[in-house]
Amino acid sequence: MRSATFSRGMACLFVVVLLANVASFAKDGREFAGYYSLGNVIQDGELVHLTLNLQVFNYSAADVKQAVIRLHESGAGLTVHGAFQPIKLLANNRDVKLKQQFVVPRHEYERWQNGVQPSLFIVYQDAAGQRWERTIEVTPRPAPFPF
């Protein structure tokens, strides 16, 4: 009898640990999300000049200070096309609206026009000094973008 109780207890403990790990993976998957729109688009040969309007929500469960949002090449590219001005404070469960001009290759702009989302990352240090670089999941917002 005692063996069966112990086995049930161990099974419950295993399930609790497993669920805790699954929850942590889900949290890491969408700590920052938002909307974007493009404006003032000017094609200049193989380059496109544009304004990227961005609204980012912080779901990370912590305030983020002095964060920088970088625009990377979409896909597996490592090229950084530029960055927004640093964000003094992005409080937990709050949002920030940003606007920045960028110059991107024409093929990158064409990817965005064909359904690929801009590749945006937020880079910051947490309260313990740990450096983080997280993906921002974005979806398009039709113009006009409310600023």
| Chain segment 50-97, per-residue pLDDT in tens | 999 999 999 999 999 999 999 999 977 678 999 999 999 999 999 999
Q: How many other C-beta atoms can be found within 10 angstroms of the C-beta atom of residue 15?
A: 10
Contacts of 138 (CB under 8 A, 6+ apart): 33, 34, 35, 36, 54, 117, 118, 120
Q: Is the pLDDT of residue 11 over 60?
A: no
Own/partner pairs for 16-19, CB < 8 Å, 24+ apart?
A: none
Q: pLDDT at residue 21 above 60?
A: no
Examine residue 146 and say whether the peptide bond preceding it is cis (omega within 30 degrees of 0).
no
Q: Convert the pLDDT of each residue in 107-128 to its tens digit.
A: 999 999 999 999 999 999 998 9
Of all residues in the chain, what percent carry a pLDDT higher than 70?
A: 76
For the chain, domain boundaries: 1-30, 32-140
- pLDDT of amino acid 78: 78
Q: What is the reported pTM?
A: 0.76
> Under CATH, which number does the domain 32-140 receive?
2.60.40
Mean pLDDT, residues 10-15 taken together? 39
